[in-house]
Amino acid sequence: MRRSDTLQKEACPIARAAQLLGDHWTLLLLRDLGHGSRRFQELLHSTGMSPAVLSNRLRHLESAGMITRRQFAEVPPRVEYTLTEMGLAALPLVEQLRQFGEIWLAAVPEPALQPDEDALPVEPCE
């Protein structure tokens, strides 16, 4: 059974959301894509994921409708990932997690990203 089938069968909306958003790699990708479109290498560097894990998570988020993948006809090939309306709707959750971490958990430095002009604000961790 595909994961998307499992999500649809969950009666509880919290369980469905947790299945989609509940791993830390997904949350880090949403955090970074909340600053605007990003390339694979940018996401690789900012999250610290292995290339295989990043590819897997990006495919999963794309199939779930959270992100879009745009490939440009250039040499070398260029691919950018962007949040969809559904992905943008999850940003307030990411912001709440950031605030919770600031208040209740010890600070851990993270790489800084430069926001795009059209990006929705998610406060960076300091």
pTM value is 0.75
Tokens 């990708």 — which residue?
29
CB atoms closer than 10 angstroms to residue 33: 29
Cβ pair 24, 50 in contact under 8 A: no
Cβ pair 78, 39 in contact under 8 A: yes
The class that CATH gives domain 25-104 is mainly alpha
> How confident is the model over 46-97, as pLDDT tens digits?
999 999 999 999 999 999 999 999 999 888 888 999 999 999 999 999 999 9
